[in-house]
Chains A and B, each alone.
Chain A
Amino acid sequence: MENMRFYCGYDDEKDVAEQIMEHLDANENCLAEGLMIGCWRDAWECAPSEIIDVIIQNKTKFPNLKSIYLGDMESEDCEISWICHTDTAALINELELESLTVKGATGLRFDAAKSENLKTLVIVSGGMSSKLLGDIARAELPNLEYLELYLGVEDYGFDGNITDVEPFMQKRNFPKLKYLGLKNSEIQDEICEKIIDSDIIDGLDVLDLSLGTLSDKGAKLILDHINKFSHLKKLDLTYNYISDELVEKLEKAFASLNVELLISRDDVYIDEDYEYRFPYITE
């Protein structure tokens, strides 16, 4: 059995923790390799503490569990920035997970997270707090290969600055990282600038700076330091605010390097009346 999904819909009587317990009572063990945790009751007011507790307290009954997606819900259920979370380090520390994805970052923490097993960590959010970024930066995850952080904007919880993001560009913190996504950010140009000078880029296969406010400033930096990107298999700049002229130059440059470049601007909305630029997920 691969993935199992638990979800409390609009008219479901039983909340997610109760559904998980019921499944365990009926089947003794849950043999799924992945748990998809969808909307829990009143996700805009209640953190999934009970769900985390149920899983941890019954961890021996999940013998095959490798991945968890916590908060697999749509805006029709709950806006991303409304989803309440809590300290979720236990999922990393107590289980032998290889992959953890969390949607929503309000109240989310990973205090003293530590795992030899975790290879993938994804946080999808409208805004990550500097405390949360600090937790992840300090986490002991020596085998992490895939890190994707939707940093977001101030209005939805991003209260940090570039110094909060820089630890993710240091190889000593994440020595085995192959995929780094520092994305969906309102400081995307600054991130681009810092990552060029970082030591993490040399070990990456994929650099993902997509869904943010990357502009001509970032594009010029990439073109001026193109050799720093030449070893990549893929550079993801999907959804950006780069001019047509520089998009063309980037496409030509990366075609000659044999690096896959994603640079679509299909979903970008430019408001003629305002100079504001928004990342993709800001709701």
Chain B
Amino acid sequence: MRTMHFIIIGDLIGRRVKAFVDCLKEMDIHNYQVISWLDVLQDISILEKNLKENTIIRIEPPEKDLEIYRLILGFSGEKGGVSSQEIENIDFSNYQIVAPAQWYEGFTLVLEAIDKILSQNNNIYCMNHFKEAIQMMDKSRTYEILEKEVSKYNYKLPVRYKTPDNYEGFVDMYGHKVFKCFIKLRYGSGGTGVIAYKNNPRLGDERIFTSLNYEIVDGNRIFYSNSKVNVYQDKTKIKELLDWVLHNGAHIEDWIPKPAYNGYFFDTRVFVLSQKVQYVISRLSKTPITNLHLKNRRVEDIDFISKDHLENIKLAAEDVMKVYHQSWYAGIDIISSRSGKPYVIDVNPFGDLFHHLLGTDKNIHYLEIKKAVDLIKWWNR
């Protein structure tokens, strides 16, 4: 068999590339190459030049390097309304979130271009399925795809609500009754741009929980996400934040009450690889937003979930991956209702980075690498 070769496309400033490469080294695999998103975006032919037979490709999503963000925006060809000149001039020093829908469009085109290159080469194994990954990164599309198949499988979905264009429309639609929902940035990852909203008009009590915030810089509102979930009851703040998310594309779902454990609310991230659950972790938080990177607790020892409910959660996650059957892996976020029904609230195509497992034998990347290597060997048997 010819030599096996890994290519990892990633963000050199982020943690993901290092996390994966560390596992390769630990497994005594030194035949790998890291290609920065910056290089790919400046000249996509770099990929073609480095492809060999028996290459395993792994895509890590862009993370911290905002120059990558700028280039991906540019890749969209201004489809989202931000011009090339404006993209060039964006000041990312304040970590603002700009035109997420346009970024998504750009990233879709980038992945399609990479996919085209890979399809023209033989004996290349890609750990990601681009088309499905792109679908998963669109929360509304994911919902529609899962909803279409929901009757066949064991997972449930929260009720979805119509999405108005702005806060005024939102109040017209939902302001007359007690209303609790999650307003999610359609093309946001993790907790970015997620607003947990509740309103009791009888008491005049409207409040939101979110890590999204804004500052006014040179007369313009700059929106950004920080690591702390804040509660806002100020009407102006609520309006501004909802307006921004609704304007940038939102997906609105019912608020499923999360179960509580020791004063924390939790949902569960299930990592599925090759159609089998490989890892389960519960994400505990005192706020309604539990995403891992928002400094919440994670608990592996999930004795506080009954066996029946845990089984339902695992079955639901595996069923989600039957719908996304071309994808090798994903992280599925599930809320188990008190009666044990598993509600899927997010599907993350890059949901295999568990920060607390880095540097440990349990790092899920070891399993991914082993299975990918076995697959290449099987191809070459």
Contacts and interface: CB of A to CB of B under 8 A. Distances in A.
B203 interface: yes
B338 A10 contact: yes
A45 B178 contact: yes
Interface stretch (A77-85, A113-121, A133-141, A143-151): A77-85
Interface in B232-266: 255-258, 260, 265
Nearest to A42: B178
Contacts of A7: 338
A10 B259 CA distance: 11
Contacts of B255: 76
Interface in B323-339: 337-339
A74 interface: yes
Nearest to A44: B178
A227 B198 CA distance: 48
B288 A76 contact: yes
Contacts of B256: 10
The prevalent SS among residues of A at the interface is: loop
B200 interface: yes
A283 B207 CA distance: 10
Most central of A7, A39, A76, A106 by chain B CB within 10 Å: A76
A181 B11 CA distance: 55
A11 B205 contact: no
Nearest to A84: B202
Interface string A48-88: 00000000000000000000000000101101011000000
A44 B200 contact: yes
Interface residues of A, number: 17
A9 B339 contact: yes
A77 B260 CA distance: 10
B341 interface: yes
A266 to B, nearest CB: 13
A82 B337 contact: no
Contacts of A39: 257
Contact of B200 (A10, A77, A82): A82
B260 A12 contact: no
Contact of B337 (A11, A81, A106, A283): A11
A77 B255 CA distance: 9
Contacts of B260: 74, 76
A82 B205 contact: yes
B199 to A, nearest CB: 10
B265 A9 contact: no
Nearest to B177: A45
Given A44-B178, A74-B265, A81-B203, A11 B288 contact: no
Given A9-B337, A10-B337, A45-B178, A79 B205 contact: yes
8 contacts: A9-B339, A10-B337, A11-B339, A12-B339, A44-B200, A45-B178, A76-B288, A82-B203
Interface of A: 7, 9-12, 39, 42, 44-45, 74, 76-77, 79, 81-82, 106, 283
Given A7-B338, A42-B178, 10 more contacts: A9-B338, A10-B257, A11-B156, A44-B200, A74-B257, A76-B258, A76-B288, A77-B257, A79-B205, A81-B205
